[in-house]
Amino acid sequence: MRRLWLIFAQAVTVSVAVLFVLNTLKPEWLRKATPAAVVAILEAPAGSERAPAAGSYAPAAQRSMPAVVHIFTSKGGRGQRHPLLDDPLFRHFFGERPDSAPSESGLGSGVIVSPDGYVLTNNHVIETADAIEVALNDGRKFAARLVGRDPETDLAVLRIDGAEALPAITFPAADSLAVGDVVLAIGNPFGVGQTVTMGIVSALGRSQLGINTFENYIQTDAAINPGNSGGALVDSAGSLVGINTAIYSRSGGSLGIGFAIPVSIARDVLEQIVATGEVVRGWVGVEIQDLTPELAASFGYRDAGGALIAGVLRGSPADRAGVRPGDVLVALDGESVRDPRAMLDMVAALSPGKRAVFRVRRGAEALDLEVEVGRRPIPPAAR
């Protein structure tokens, strides 16, 4: 009996040990196989196209995104050569040292405006660049050259040579943008890659911001961040309405106040630069300022309309025509002058050599002075 009991105990111990080993090393051998669960999923028929959701701006984005490019710039710096670098003994122990400092790089965005390879961007994106590279949304990269730039509107024109099948953005038939219209801002913010943000037109004709000489900005709450400069602002149809340029921010990021150059100004600058390599504007050589109610009262004027001539450059077209400091310009070629900003734009639009009639108020008199318009001097930054 004792022997049988020992055999039984040993058999149970071995069985338990085997079960323990199997449960530790091969637990799936001890589990009952269960059929895998099947989830029923409904799929669209193969090859069917996804219809845009109601209110979606995907068609506008898809139409314009291929024409918006990333612009990479580089600038090689040269450091001052240390005298020890010319010492043969120093070079024997320490080797040759490069003369140039590490290059600086920057990034921005641009818009292909012609299948011929012309690209619009901001002047501040490329103004210090020694080399410019353009990367398309399809992954292609090309070297680009500067055709011309206009610092007074912060626009520049580049050209990609030798590229084929370049996608170009569409210009609207007319400048019909209105406050409240939906717009999309497309660019490469912070270098993360092409990004689309949506907003509305918050205001039109923004000026006196101190950003550029000629200002007539579109204000939008579409997010514009560093790297978006030079990118496209498009309408709900995907047509170009502006070139993203600046933001109002205390942190460096978007606060919902962004500014874009209207396409009408961008197109005029583009056409002049492509044709002549520069932008030509009219100039008469006067310094102007706002005619405030206080100044108007001191001059004896009943209203504060027009632009006050604060100074006249000696030998300038205005000086030769008899314009004097203290005169108030109220009309140019029969068109009323509302304020100094309007006067600056009106004179800039005149062709050099044209004779324009300036109607000025001088005390109680109204005088018509014929001024031969000169050419606006090229800013030093554009030379």
Residues taking part in catalysis? 124, 154, 229
Q: What's the N-to-C CA distance of the chain in angstroms?
A: 115
In whole angstroms, give the CA distance from residue 96 to residue 103. Answer: 19
Write out the two tokens for 224: 């514009």
**CA atoms 90, 92, 93, 94: torsion sign:** positive
Q: Would you say how long the chain is, in residues?
A: 383
The one-character DSSP state at 300 is T
Residue 321 phi/psi, 5° resolution? -85, -10
With 0-12 / 13-18 / 19 or more C-beta atoms within 10 angstroms meaning exposed / middle / buried, residue 134 is buried
The DSSP result for 239-267, as a single string, is: -EEEEEEEE--SSSS--S-EEEEEHHHHH
CB neighbours (10 Å) of residue 297?
11
Torsion of CA 237, 242, 245, 251, to 10 degrees: -40
In whole angstroms, give the CA distance from residue 346 to residue 339. Answer: 11
